[in-house]
Amino acid sequence: MAKFWRQWLIHSAIALTTTSLLIVLSIKARLEISAYQSPRPEAILVLGGGNTREPAAAQLAAQNPDLDIWVSSGLGPTQANEIFSAQNVVLTRVNLDYDATDTVTNFTTLVAELQTHNIRHIYLVTSDFHMPRSKAIAFWVLGSRGIAYSPVTVPSNTPPEPYHKILRDVARSWLWLITGRTGSSLDPDPPVRSS
């Protein structure tokens, strides 16, 4: 009986590893195809947090007047609109979304809307300390939907985030892929929204 369970565990581990590898390769292929079909980003996605990301995104938007902008749970509408207006960005291009409560939901609450607009490649704007976690989540959430991303890093004086946050949010991204839920209600430190 012990031999049966040992073999079952070995076969299960091989099957899980093979399946995981195939999923990663599939997402990588989707990202490569999207980047090939749309080598230039078609929109800007700004992840809210702090007060330096929207100004950086506004400058990027001013340099790319054909791109629409999505700001996920960033500064309040009045302050955000003032920042974009100061860069002469027409506010009809700016989509302010306040549905996200954390970094994972920054992506999961907007991915369907990006797909609806047939966007296959975005600029991803966030702070330097936040970019590794954001790219890890983007790989799973955006990549699973065939949306490529080009990081635009906003400098800060904040130390890098700990790896356990990246691992936690990758696991939450997997949970979203499987169930459509992110587990955001389980976050012990929910973010405080800025107004």
Spell out the domains of the chain, with CATH numbers in brackets.
Answer: 2-185 (3.40.50.620)
Count of CB atoms situated within 10 Å of the CB of 151? 14
Dump the DSSP string for 17-40.
HHHHHHHHHHHHHHHHHHHHH--S
pTM for the full predicted model: 0.88
- Within the chain, what is the greatest distance between any pair of CA atoms? 73
User: Sign of the C-alpha dihedral, residues 69, 136, 140, 169?
Assistant: negative
- pLDDT of 16 reads 83
Name the token pair of 159: 């130390």
Using DSSP's 3-state secondary structure scheme, residue 68 falls into: strand
- Residue 1 C-alpha from the chain's centroid: 46
What is the DSSP secondary structure assignment for residue 110, as one 8-state letter?
T
Q: What is the mean pLDDT of each run of 10 residues along the chain (195 residues)?
A: 84 86 90 94 95 97 98 96 97 97 96 97 98 98 98 96 96 94 68 42
- Residue 141 C-alpha from the chain's centroid: 7
Residue 95's contacts (CB-CB under 8 Å, 6 or more residues apart) are: 68, 69, 70, 71, 113
Name the token pair of 154: 């906003």
Q: Reading across the β-sheet that carries 68-72, which strands appear in turn?
A: 94-97, 68-72, 43-47, 121-127, 148-154
Residue 1's contacts (CB-CB under 8 Å, 6 or more residues apart) are: none
Q: What is each CA distance from 11 to 2, 8, 17, 21, 115, in whole angstroms?
A: 14, 5, 10, 15, 38
- pLDDT of 115 reads 97
